[in-house]
Amino acid sequence: MTAVFPLHRTTRPTPAPDRDAILADPGFGTHFTDHMASATWTPDAGWHGHRIGPVTPYTLHPGAAVLHYAQEVFEGLKAYRHADGSVWLFRPEINAARFARSARRLSLPEVSEAEFLASVEELVRADEAWVPAFGGEQSLYLRPFMFASETFLGVRPAHRVEYSVIACPAGMYFSSGSGVTLWISTTFTRAAAGGTGEAKCGGNYAASLAAQTEAHEHGCDQVLYVDGVEHEWLEESGTMNVCLVTSDGELVTPPLGTILEGVTRDSVLALAGEHGLTAVQRPVSVTELRERCADGSVTEVFAAGTAAVITPIVGFKGADLDVRVGGGAPGKTTLALREHILDLQYGRVADTRGWLRRVV
Ligand code: COI
């Protein structure tokens, strides 16, 4: 297996003034860079055709398996520009490992860590001009993914799979810096034991859309899922993990099992001690959330994810529930942790844990 993605540079790059206009206000997920990484897998040849080339639409037969059975997994990570112009990834090895776990769960072939890292790094190097300048909260969002491209309507693991990485310059995922409100859905659940909750697969996000609509209909920004049996135990938000800060110095987050093992979640747990907090992974009930927000012993709640970084949660609503967190404004520990993560990612503080990987 090769971990080399040779570059075939586009002959029609986005003109610099157009690129600069996009970088001035990139939004999230709407503007893409000039290149993509790709490779194809078949049982006989394994992974082959590795390349970085111009962004090109796929040609798929309408019978392609992914269009029918959603055999697909993806990742999300970012490249950050530092003050000296260098470009870095944040803990990409964790994304590589999670991508492999997601692939196993969806019966897709694994991409090795070396191939995953090479594809991402080579793409960032090819599209370096698209990495936003140091100084704001912008980055180059990278989206590795793979899907079943075999034309076949039988239900079995596909015999042809495409792996790709695309990239888009990204600003803030949530425009509300003042915090978001979550809708605790008892209509929809995200995952059950033995399901695909731990995998980062498109199907989980497709199923989240109805819950997200329900949240919007109730004036909330996002959904907060609870377990499917008792409708009582917190799981995760639509695109982020959830953490609570307590007045007795704990940083509490639901345990793994049916939720996504977030890179930001893991980083926050590791940094908790530096903020005077003890990291605790344990089940959290809606009852506890409601009672402790009311009596002030849960002082802050926030969500953690690559796209959203750390987003303050200032309230929850549910069928019989309307909870305000703290004073209804972002808490100081939340903001300090957010700053800490961003300081690390943008190289504004020393990387004592070896979390950063230089690309340019
Ligand atoms: C991420 O945080 O990277 C995600 O994948 C969430 C999302 C935008 C679907």
Alpha carbons 277 and 251: distance in angstroms, whole number: 6
Kindly give the number of the ligand 1 atom that is closest to the alpha carbon of 239: 6
Residue whose CA is closest, atom 6 of ligand 1?
239
The answer to whether 66 and 72 are in contact (CB under 8 A) is yes
Alpha carbons 242 and 289: distance in angstroms, whole number: 12
The answer to whether 309 and 171 are in contact (CB under 8 A) is no
Which residue shows structure tokens 């089940």? 283
241 close to ligand 1 (CB < 6 Angstrom): no
Alpha carbons 41 and 104: distance in angstroms, whole number: 14
pLDDT above 80 (res 76)? yes
Q: What are φ and ψ of residue 268, in 5° steps?
A: -65, -40
Kindly give the number of the ligand 1 atom that is closest to the alpha carbon of 77: 3
Share of the chain above pLDDT 90, in %: 95
- Strand residues in the chain grouped as ranges (E): 35-42, 46-54, 72-74, 77-81, 87-90, 139-148, 161-170, 180-185, 222-226, 234-237, 241-246, 250-253, 278-281, 298-305, 309-318, 321-324, 356-358
pLDDT digits (tens, 9 = 90+) for 12-53: 999 999 999 999 999 999 999 999 999 999 999 999 999 999
Alpha carbons 253 and 245: distance in angstroms, whole number: 9
Residue whose CA is closest, atom 5 of ligand 1?
76
Kindly give the number of the ligand 1 atom that is closest to the alpha carbon of 76: 3
Kindly give the number of the ligand 1 atom that is closest to the alpha carbon of 262: 2
The answer to whether 70 and 206 are in contact (CB under 8 A) is yes
pLDDT above 70 (res 354)? yes
Question: From ligand 1's centre to the CA of 76, what distance in Å?
Answer: 6
Which residues of the chain does CATH 3.30.470.10 include? 16-170
pLDDT above 60 (res 321)? yes
Alpha carbons 48 and 33: distance in angstroms, whole number: 23
Question: From ligand 1's centre to the CA of 239, what distance in Å?
Answer: 6
At residue 178, the pLDDT reads 85
Identify the band that residue 240 occupies on the pLDDT scale cut at 50, 70 and 90. very high
Which of 37-46, 172-181, 266-275, 340-349 is the least confident region? Answer: 172-181
The answer to whether 101 and 199 are in contact (CB under 8 A) is yes
Q: Three-class SS of residue 150?
A: coil
Identify the band that residue 203 occupies on the pLDDT scale cut at 50, 70 and 90. very high
pLDDT digits (tens, 9 = 90+) for 145-189: 999 999 999 999 999 999 999 999 999 887 767 899 999 999 999
pLDDT digits (tens, 9 = 90+) for 125-134: 999 999 999 9
- As its CATH architecture, domain 180-345 has Alpha-Beta Barrel (3.20)
CA distances, 356 to each of 170, 346, 347 (Å): 19, 9, 9
Question: From ligand 1's centre to the CA of 307, what distance in Å?
Answer: 5
The angle, 0 to 180 degrees and rounded to 10, between the axes of the packed helices 263-271 and 332-345 is 110
Q: Three-class SS of residue 197?
A: coil
173 CB neighbour count, 10 Å cutoff: 17
Which residues of the chain does CATH 3.20.10.10 include? 180-345
Which residue shows structure tokens 């090109």? 56
CATH class assigned to 16-170:
alpha beta
Share of the chain above pLDDT 70, in %: 99
pLDDT above 80 (res 3)? no
